[in-house]
Structure 1
Amino acid sequence: MEAAVLATALGLLLLAGAGGSAGDEAREAAAVRALVARLLGPGPAANFLVSVERSLAAESGSDTYSLSGGGEAPVRVRGSTGVAAAAGLHRYLRDFCGCQVAWSSSQLHLPWPLPEVPEELTEATPNRYRYYQNVCTQSYSFVWWDWARWEQEIDWMALNGINLALAWNGQEAIWQRVYLALGLNQSEINEYFTGPTFLAWERMGNLHTWGGPLSRFWHLKQLHLQHQILYRMRSFGMTPVLPAFAGHVPKAITRVFPHANVTQLGSWGHFNCSYSCSLLLAPEDPIFSIIGSLFLRELTKEFGTDHIYGADTFNEMQPPSSEPSYLAAATAAVYEAMTKVDPHAVWLLQGWLFQHQPEFWGPAQIRAVLHAVPQGRLLVLDLFAESQPVYLHTASFYGQPFIWCMLHNFGGNHGLFGALEAVNRGPESARRFPNSTMVGTGIVPEGIGQNEVVYALMAELGWRKDPVPDLEAWVTSFAAQRYGVSQPNAEAAWRLLLRSVYNCSGEDCRGHNRSPLVRRPSLQLNTMVWYNRSDVFEAWRLLLKAAPNLTTSPAFRYDLLDVTRQAVQELVSLYYEEARTAYLKHKSRPLFRAGGILAYELLPALDEVLASDSRFLLGSWLEQARTMAGSEAEAYFYEQNSRYQLTLWGPEGNILDYANKQLSGLVADYYQPRWGLFLETLVDSLAQGIPFQQRKFDEKAFQLEQAFVLSKRRYSSQPQGDTIDLVGKIFLKYSPRGLAGFL
């Protein structure tokens, strides 16, 4: 693409993303000062002088921060925006004070006096945008959050330099107003909306109805929460991304507008058309523009706007035609409905569709979509760039700006996993790509709260011009920052994890946890891993050996439990292989031994150790759901939504165990009974001399799974037992032979 055309396209994008609603310097500086007080407390916060000065970015045009002072003087933090100032503060806390801010806990033991910055340090980001969130994150992780939890997350976002993020709460309340105005009745609207934990897929047109309806109380709470979220994001100078109309409509539209030109799309996610097969308005139908404009007008009237909107028309759904003319028209209709209300609109598009169905999305089809919107008015998320980047085979998205994103996690799964080498090199490679239109980096997991080392690296890369030169040294520093002290055994454990679970490459790097532990049992489960399991076991040993020096560190306790969880997961695979081999060789005694250890010893032990930490409790997750309710009936309804998502996902196990977690309560009452049934079925099979019948087993397993989902059993949200003691017992009893003697 010609350089002048690229400059024009990016200029349009930058203009649209820099609206006055981001706030002035004084407001952003005040927001960062309030963050410092929340993070450090009012006393230590007094030692930091924060200012926001747009002129800092005048030379580079990029977000910039500057650090100076310390020692006998206060630390001075200046930023070209509030986000830049917060990122500068985080840099000082991390690199000068050895601190860390993370989801599981934060280590903020400040040295005194505060370390001096030897000479003024000024850093400008190479990226216009540092983006955050996947549409699915809203359902897998954020769904039950109150304002206190959202406030923590927005602080984390600011400290990590995030300046572009989805803000999609409350949109169903706006849609309800629009649908009522169009003539739908309340029962038709209730029938359309999904339940809270499935809203992400209703918003992308994949689902309707399942897990619903939504209550009036839900709508009111979400509207209030959205106002709080937007106010805080904007006070930092972030750009919130609001939703827009993608073309999907409730079936009741055809009652109100019997001549509407709609197409029924195919089913999604093994759901039948009772819950999927959404209706898509034809782009040429005049109702398309009316609905899209009504929604955006009502939305921006309620929430204001920063001129960037997200919409996904064909996410994991094949369009009704592959003709480029149709795809261009469908894309143009979405954009034109935006600009009818907001002439400065920029469309944020998740590029997952191009990666997910490459057999459909050939060059002509991708060009049709990308060229249907003016250059610079479509901002594409290359959603899985750390593993399967799309920019490489689309000539940098044929000239449209894109954000290099790390997806990493699917479904919010637990399981140690990462491709840190690919993540480290990826953004720089994309920037250096011929005629690159890359304008930012993105953190886009389906679920958060896991593998924090991966996100720490990705957030840092948003401010680096070059990759981290030595990942071993980087992860050693990460461990010291995390625990507040340099501990040789703990640091050695992290280096082992770096070379094993965090060193994925190639086809293995899909991010799902495929451990047998969290899968419905069968004789065909895959136990292959890309790393040497002995590295995980040795890291486990080293962390336990480091425990006496780090008992007061919440982050260490979390990591010790997380690595123990991973080690037990590895042991489950090994015992499963032993049991399967014994069954296939008709050896009942070895089968009963290996299967018995797996089902009746390892899993109960895992549940017990998980129960020692509130961050691994099913009760904590369900309690969040209950607190969102306005009545006991609604509380049970929300609990059931959560249980479905974690397990069956749909009424018939439609996306079974996709969103698997390893939580105390879930292990004891869902995974363990299922494995116990499997073992008993295999033993009976050998005793009776009949083959194992998977179909019959699946029917019985489904009864257990459904019973768990429908159960009203309450789970504690308070931890029980001491993590370190319980881990020591599991290690001594179950660690592979030869390791225990070194403890």
Structure 2
Amino acid sequence: MSAGLFVRAAEEDAPTIAPATELFSRVLPAERVDEFVLELIPSPDGKDVYEVESQDGKLVVRGNTGVAIASGLNWYLKEKCNSQVSMNHNQISLPNPLPLVENKVRVETPFEYRYLFNYCTYGYSMPWWDWEKWEEMIDYMAFMGVNMPLAMIGQEAVWQEVYRELGMTDEQLDKFFVGPAHLPWGWMGNIDGLGGPLPQDWISQRAELQKKILARMRSLGMKPVLQAFTGHVPVELKEIYPEAEITQIHDWAGIPGTMFLSPTDPLFTRIGTLFIEKQTEMFGTDHLYDADCFIEVDPPSKDPAYLSEVSKTVYDSMVAADPEAIWVLQGWFFFFRSEFWQPEQGRAFVGGVPKDKIIVLDLYGEKNTTWDKTESFFGQPWIWNVICNQDQKVNMSGHLAKMQTNFQTAYQSEIEKNLRGVGTIPEGVGYNPIVQDFIYELAWNQSEKDLEKWVSDYGKRRYGTEDERAGETWQRLLSSVYGRTRTDWGPLITTPTLQIFGKPKEDIRHVRKNVRITEENPFGQDYDVYELYEASQILLSMADDLQEVETYRFDLTNVHRELIYGLSYLVIDDLTQAYLSGEPARLKAAGDQLLGLLDDLEAVTGSHEMFLLGKWLEDAQSWATTEEEKAYYNWNARTIVSIWQPWKNGGLRDYASKQWNGMFSGYYKPRWELLIQMLEKNLEEGTDFDAGAFNQAVREVDFAWTHAQDEYPSKPTTDPVEEARRIQKKYQKYFLKK
């Protein structure tokens, strides 16, 4: 606790307010903390509240929890100090003296819950995070007002105790637990054993990390959501309990289905109760438990009576161990498996749980809302969320206007009924911080925003400047990349192929879309590339003043990566047309152009730590205690961002593809070189392209890369300003309207 930070609190309130004082001391400039006073106040209705006012030359921040107090400070930093706390960098510039708050500001949130995280976040973004990184994230969460985070780390240690007590051996569990970056899909019951076995050191270290994470979250007033039993069991359990009703569910993404213990079997309640008991012994509880029995797979029966019995038993297994248990349910399956989950099935399933003892998460609020197609989740409490990012796609996207419209519709219709919260459920974090900032502001201010003004103010706060160019940059980003919803699974970083561009197609798994390059749409993108170019020019024009500002350096990298990646469809079309024309010289020129684009993307992404494959691999290997483990973590970290399934002919390859330095040079470019060589040989010999042979050859290359041990830079090797200037000069010709 900082000696300079003044706290007004009774002795019995010290455990509540002390974590907030420590947070202030971590985030604020050390020489300024004595200008702040913290106080604890009660909440009139159980929901969070904060107050901010100036008194005697100091800034007084009050709240009923550490989260509320941090949210009050966040309001002051944004509104009075032109500063920003962000997911990837903080930009805090405190004027001297502190700006006055002339009239006390008091804000109460109407939302009991502010949710964060997706199971997949723990695989695509956070598998290698250490305590230092988690501490930064929890601080950010407090500033945003998050009080209901999904907290999944460390549960393998619990499962070890449960299954050992049920008679299973460690060798059998080795076949059940999946690899570190693939753990979320094991938790969700999609896969067994893939990427395993887990080292025991990993299991032990993660359990200790989870204890620190939960202690910090709780100290700030957060209520973490822990795991509950879903029915997913090891196949060997059938050998120990041959009479148990254990069946294999249908496959997932080409992987054989896992084993499902029917909730109607007495063993289900025994395991579910035992798991929560042992989890509580190890990690404590806040009585919130996530259990998604059928997140992307269907139950074995559509019978409403059966589905009602299933949900009742799942809930009863929680209550047997924790009478205060509340079931947190991801509502994704109502959308993703909508053909199965008709109103009769949904009503029976949700209705099997007592009123107010289940909270349903509506995941896809920015595009495919579910609450309005399920009678508001059949009368149970629910939380409005956005996903925004699938698979931690490295791109700039998030339709802010659509988010605002969909939120307002839900809020105005449901806030007096069963809408209990707001949140974000990104599968990956870090590349579109504006989305999280926008959504969590709704926790405290539900009014409809003038988006052009909001993003303009956001840009100025982000860089700590009053320069109007910062605002104009973000207005142009709003009218380009932040006017689209989808997260691009573009052709440059998926398995190379030539396409006869036709009717666009996109499904909910973001299968790569085909486009037609035309005079009206010269880039084939779903946003205005010319507008993005204008944004990039304005952003770069501020470099002399802002080049040392970390948020600016990140954005300069991100914008210019997005800008030249926007040429992907165009350069592949050029390659396609060159091949179809049968002109070797034209094909070589088009191939050189494409490979040059990959080289430039490699250089641009080398200018910031968040775009480095080498950092991802280094972080993964930091968990190793032996050389053997180091190689294992390296392999697992490579696999999840490339072929996903660790075999040559898997069906999810490139699903989590990353626009990272190291990926462009080491993974994507060799594939395109292989394709171009085969095309050149076809023209030379007058033969047809053999897609099957190429596909098999590229799969060999991909598989070998996941097992390689070569290193990539883990620190930036280029400068974002220099790269941006070079890119602007080289590619200007593409972005000048004809």
Could you state the TM-score of these two structures normalised by the residue count of structure 1? 0.92
Confirm or deny that 1:605 pairs with 2:600: yes
- Quick check: 1:582–1:590 contact (8 Å CA) kept in 2? yes
Q: Deviations over 1:240-272 (max 9, x none)?
A: 11111011110110111111111100110122x
Q: Report the equivalent of 1:520.
A: 495
State the distance in 1 between where 2:705 and 2:26 align. Answer: 40
SS in 1 for 2:285: coil
Confirm or deny that 1:201 pairs with 2:197: no
The one-letter code sitting in structure 1 at the alignment partner of 2:710 is R
Q: Report the equivalent of 1:699.
A: 696
Q: 2:69 aligns with which of 54, 71, 85?
A: 85
Q: 1:157 to 1:24 in 2, by over 3 A?
A: farther
Q: Report the equivalent of 1:541.
A: 537
Q: 1:455 to 1:710 in 2, by over 3 A?
A: same
Residue identity over aligned pairs, in percent, reads 38
Q: 1:166 aligns with which of 115, 139, 150?
A: 150
Q: Cα distance, 1:735 vs. partner?
A: 2.5
Could you state the TM-score of these two structures normalised by the residue count of structure 2? 0.93
State the distance in 1 between where 2:305 and 2:688 align. Answer: 55
Q: Cα distance, 1:394 vs. partner?
A: 1.2
State the distance in 1 between where 2:216 and 2:383 align. Answer: 24
Q: Cα distance, 1:737 vs. partner?
A: 4.7
Confirm or deny that 1:625 pairs with 2:620: yes
State the distance in 2 between where 1:207 and 1:368 align. Answer: 27
The one-letter code sitting in structure 2 at the alignment partner of 1:38 is R
Confirm or deny that 1:573 pairs with 2:553: no
Confirm or deny that 1:445 pairs with 2:441: no
- Quick check: 1:25–1:81 contact (8 Å CA) kept in 2? no
Q: Report the equivalent of 1:255.
A: 239
The one-letter code sitting in structure 2 at the alignment partner of 1:246 is T
Q: Report the equivalent of 1:29.
A: 17
State the distance in 1 between where 2:634 and 2:140 align. Answer: 27
State the distance in 1 between where 2:688 and 2:203 align. Answer: 53
Q: Report the equivalent of 2:470.
A: 490
Q: How does 1:357-396 map to 2 (within 5 A)?
A: 357-396=337-376
Confirm or deny that 1:614 pairs with 2:599: no
The one-letter code sitting in structure 2 at the alignment partner of 1:419 is H
State the distance in 2 between where 1:677 and 1:700 align. Answer: 8
Q: Which is further off, 536-545 or 635-644?
A: 536-545
Q: Cα distance, 1:357 vs. partner?
A: 1.2
State the distance in 2 between where 1:47 and 1:519 align. Answer: 53
State the distance in 1 between where 2:580 and 2:230 align. Answer: 52
State the distance in 1 between where 2:296 and 2:342 align. Answer: 15
The one-letter code sitting in structure 1 at the alignment partner of 2:488 is N
Confirm or deny that 1:62 pairs with 2:62: no
- Quick check: 1:132–1:444 contact (8 Å CA) kept in 2? yes
Q: Cα distance, 1:692 vs. partner?
A: 2.1
State the distance in 1 between where 2:561 and 2:547 align. Answer: 18
Q: Deviations over 1:413-436 (max 9, x none)?
A: 101111101212332311222674
State the distance in 1 between where 2:99 and 2:268 align. Answer: 59
Q: 1:40 aligns with which of 28, 34, 47?
A: 28
State the distance in 2 between where 1:103 and 1:328 align. Answer: 40
Q: Deviations over 1:437-485 (max 9, x none)?
A: 11000111000011111111111112112222x1111111111111111
SS in 2 for 1:433: helix
- Quick check: 1:514–1:526 contact (8 Å CA) kept in 2? no
State the distance in 2 between where 1:604 and 1:465 align. Answer: 45
Q: Cα distance, 1:727 vs. partner?
A: 2.0
State the distance in 2 between where 1:296 and 1:24 align. Answer: 30
The one-letter code sitting in structure 2 at the alignment partner of 1:454 is V
Q: Which is further off, 670-679 or 484-493?
A: 484-493
Q: Deviations over 1:555-577 (max 9, x none)?
A: 11111111111111112221111
Q: Report the equivalent of 1:716.
A: 713
Q: How does 1:253-332 map to 2 (within 5 A)?
A: 253-271=237-255, 273=256, 277-332=257-312
Q: 2:725 aligns with which of 720, 724, 728?
A: 728
The one-letter code sitting in structure 1 at the alignment partner of 2:489 is R
Confirm or deny that 1:500 pairs with 2:480: yes
Q: Cα distance, 1:739 vs. partner?
A: 4.8
The one-letter code sitting in structure 1 at the alignment partner of 2:675 is F
Q: Report the equivalent of 1:634.
A: 629
State the distance in 2 between where 1:707 and 1:734 align. Answer: 34
SS in 1 for 2:74: helix
- Quick check: 1:261–1:285 contact (8 Å CA) kept in 2? yes
The one-letter code sitting in structure 2 at the alignment partner of 1:576 is I
Q: Report the equivalent of 2:502.
A: none
- Quick check: 1:130–1:163 contact (8 Å CA) kept in 2? yes
State the distance in 2 between where 1:647 and 1:24 align. Answer: 52
The one-letter code sitting in structure 2 at the alignment partner of 1:605 is D
Q: Deviations over 1:132-154 (max 9, x none)?
A: 11111111111111111111110
Q: Cα distance, 1:347 vs. partner?
A: 0.2
The one-letter code sitting in structure 2 at the alignment partner of 1:65 is Y
State the distance in 1 between where 2:488 and 2:177 align. Answer: 30
Q: Report the equivalent of 1:529.
A: 525
Q: Cα distance, 1:169 vs. partner?
A: 1.1
The one-letter code sitting in structure 2 at the alignment partner of 1:230 is L
Segments of structure 2 that go 5 or more residues without pairing to the other structure are 1-10, 500-512, 516-523
- Quick check: 1:619–1:717 contact (8 Å CA) kept in 2? yes
Q: How does 1:86-101 map to 2 (within 5 A)?
A: 86-101=70-85
Q: Report the equivalent of 2:444.
A: 463
State the distance in 1 between where 2:360 and 2:733 align. Answer: 47
State the distance in 2 between where 1:229 and 1:247 align. Answer: 27
- Quick check: 2:638–2:706 contact (8 Å CA) kept in 1? yes
Q: Report the equivalent of 2:4.
A: none
State the distance in 1 between where 2:310 and 2:681 align. Answer: 57
- Quick check: 2:398–2:482 contact (8 Å CA) kept in 1? yes
Q: 1:456 to 1:611 in 2, by over 3 A?
A: same
Q: Report the equivalent of 1:231.
A: 215
Confirm or deny that 1:216 pairs with 2:204: no
State the distance in 1 between where 2:489 and 2:284 align. Answer: 43
Q: Cα distance, 1:712 vs. partner?
A: 0.5
Q: Which is further off, 165-174 or 727-736?
A: 727-736
Q: How does 1:404-483 map to 2 (within 5 A)?
A: 404-433=384-413, 436-468=417-449, 470-483=450-463
State the distance in 1 between where 2:129 and 2:231 align. Answer: 29
Q: Cα distance, 1:345 vs. partner?
A: 0.5
SS in 2 for 1:101: coil
Q: Report the equivalent of 1:17.
A: none
Q: Report the equivalent of 2:313.
A: 333
Superposition RMSD in Å? 1.7
SS in 1 for 2:62: strand
Confirm or deny that 1:655 pairs with 2:652: yes
Confirm or deny that 1:351 pairs with 2:331: yes
- Quick check: 2:113–2:148 contact (8 Å CA) kept in 1? yes
Q: Cα distance, 1:105 vs. partner?
A: 1.3
SS in 2 for 1:239: coil
State the distance in 2 between where 1:249 and 1:323 align. Answer: 23
- Quick check: 2:16–2:219 contact (8 Å CA) kept in 1? yes
Q: 1:310 to 1:25 in 2, by over 3 A?
A: farther
SS in 2 for 1:459: helix
Q: Cα distance, 1:738 vs. partner?
A: 6.6
Q: Report the equivalent of 2:669.
A: 672
Q: Cα distance, 1:589 vs. partner?
A: 2.6
Q: Report the equivalent of 2:102.
A: 118
State the distance in 2 between where 1:159 and 1:614 align. Answer: 24
The one-letter code sitting in structure 2 at the alignment partner of 1:703 is E
Q: 1:431 to 1:103 in 2, by over 3 A?
A: closer
The one-letter code sitting in structure 1 at the alignment partner of 2:388 is H
Q: Report the equivalent of 2:589.
A: 593
